[in-house]
Amino acid sequence: MPGKTKRKYVGETMRIHKKLKRPLHLISEALPYEYDDKLLLSMFAELYPYEWKEIVERCNYFIAKDKHLQSVGKKIRYKSPSPKTFFFTMPVVKNILSPNFKAKHKKRFAEDIYNANYDALKAKRSVKINQKNNKVQKYKQTMQEVEPYYIDALIVAYHQKGITTEGKMEIITEMSRFICDKSIKFFYKINDAERNNQIRNKAFQHLQNSGNYVKLRKNFKGKKKSYMVEKTDYNMTPLDLIKRLDADSIQNKKRFSAFISHSYADSKIVEEVISILNTQGHSCYCDWSSDNDFLKRSLVSDYTKEVLKRRIEQSDYLFFIRTDNSMTGEKVNSPWIEMELEYSKSIGKDIYYIDLIEDGIKLPYKLLSHNLMDGKIEWGE
């Protein structure tokens, strides 16, 4: 490993060891009378899940880097251990698992004290874990956990010669809407190799906010080229999207499984439906999450209507959510939903719907049984 790279890798390893000394010390005060390596790791993963996740992802990250180096005929550089090996070779862990430490632990052990220590530590950590979980979930709230049809087209477009900073920002924004192996690998690669500061920082922030292990690469040294410091505000409008849809662009290449037709007042229900459809392998289009950088509510116009029609064309089917907000009896409450349903019929798209009113009224579409509480939407034969 080159000297500079080795110093960075070793330095980060030492910082992780130092950072985990206090947590592991607290765990050592809450251990039962008898314990072994499996129990210690289990307690660490339970009480410090994000710290354990960082170890796992970091080790796997550098293992993958070595595999790549081997695949291109180069020597491996990092020789990263497995996550478990990394954990058990930390000095503080080796000390806790040593016969001498175990003997002292048994000598001073008092069950009521150690139970109280465990309960107090678990209560304190539960608050911290919930705070972190809520922060990550809030960031990922509108992201879809599915691999979109067009992800390979996005990746190819990003690496095309002559692409502008604005073009890269558009692709970064599109990729950040999805959580899948390809999107995560893409962002790691951008964080490692992208020379434009704004784009690289955007990739770093996305990985960090998503709860993934990531280390921000420092700015490249040497003379700064204009491209490296170039910035874009990426302030888009519905007209900008129409122009892209009319051109040979990534927006023109996008394809979806379901176009979600709904009332915005049902946004929480929409998120539940999209999550369920994602588990079934369906990618979804929802205007306020899939095109939120273009379709701003302050800029609603005929261009917005045209965009929605194009997105319906790019979808396999339309999925309508019937609620008190979207319909009253047989009357559609929104001209936007009415347009989406009528346009879908006019171009021969299949229309499916779930009924959350259940007032006995049947629509001339394909009704699906569902149980959103249990995460189920039944498609039948």
Residues 243 and 372 in one domain: yes
Residues 61 and 213 sit within 8 Å (Cβ to Cβ):
yes
Judgement on whether residues 35 and 134 belong to the same structural domain of the protein: yes
Whether residues 341 and 297 fall in one domain: yes
User: Has 381 been annotated as catalytic?
Assistant: no
| Distance (Å, whole) CA 264 – CA 300 | 14
Q: What's the chain's average pLDDT? A: 93
Last residue of a domain, one of 115, 139, 163: 139
Q: Please say which residue of 139, 172, 192 terminates a domain.
A: 139
**Total number of domains constituting the chain:** 3
CATH number, domain containing residue 296: 3.40.50.450
What would the two tokens of residue 201 be? 């920082």
One digit per residue, the tens of pLDDT, for the chain of length 381 reads: 566 777 888 889 999 999 999 999 999 999 999 999 999 999 999 999 999 999 999 999 999 989 989 999 998 888 999 999 999 999 999 999 999 999 999 999 999 999 999 999 999 999 999 999 999 999 999 999 999 999 999 999 999 998 999 999 999 999 999 999 999 999 999 998 898 999 999 999 999 999 999 987 766 666 667 777 888 888 899 999 999 999 989 999 999 999 999 999 999 999 999 999 999 999 999 999 999 999 988 888 899 999 999 999 999 999 999 999 999 999 999 999 999 999 999 999 999 999 999 899 999 999 999 999 999 999 975
Residue indicated by tokens 């998503």: 210
Give 227-248 pLDDT, tens digit per residue. Answer: 778 888 888 999 999 999 999 8
The structure's pTM equals 0.87
Together in a domain, 311 and 333: yes
Closest CA to 30 of 125, 100, 169: 125
Q: What does residue 272 show for φ and ψ, rounded to 5 degrees?
A: -65, -45
- Catalytic position from the list 330, 340, 378, 381: 340
pLDDT at 215: 84
Asked if the structure places residue 266 within a domain, the reply is yes
289-336 pLDDT tens trace: 999 999 988 888 899 999 999 999 999 999 999 999 999 999 999 999
Give a yes or no: residue 229 inside a domain: no
Residues 281, 189 share a domain: no
- Using the 3D structure, point to which of 185, 216, 247 is the last residue of a domain: 216
CA distance linking residue 85 with residue 27, whole number of Å: 19
Is residue 301 domain-shared with residue 194, that is, in the same domain?
no
CA–CA separation, 133 and 277 (whole Å): 23
- The owner of tokens 């691999």 is 147
Report which secondary-structure segment, H or E, holds 354. strand 350-355
- Domain annotation covers residue 227: no
Q: Do 131 and 8 share a structural domain?
A: yes
8-state DSSP, 280: T
- Nearest alpha carbon to residue 41 among 83, 7, 104: 83
Residue 102's domain spans which residues?
A: 3-139
Residue 8's CB is within 10 A of a number of other CB atoms, namely 15
Is 336 a member of any domain?
Answer: yes
Residues 247 and 355 in one domain: yes
Q: Is residue 146 part of a domain?
A: no
285 by DSSP, 3-state: which? strand
pLDDT in tens, 168-210: 999 999 999 999 999 999 999 999 889 899 999 999 999 999 9
User: H-helix or E-strand containing 128?
Assistant: helix 111-139
Beta bridge partners of 367: 353
Nearest Cα residue to 188 out of 66, 70, 62, 289? 62
Provide the pLDDT for residue 223: 66
Residues 215 and 140: their CA atoms lie apart, in Å, by 20
Residues in Cβ contact with 158 at an 8 Å cutoff, skipping those fewer than 6 apart = 168, 171, 186
**111 with 204, same domain?**
no
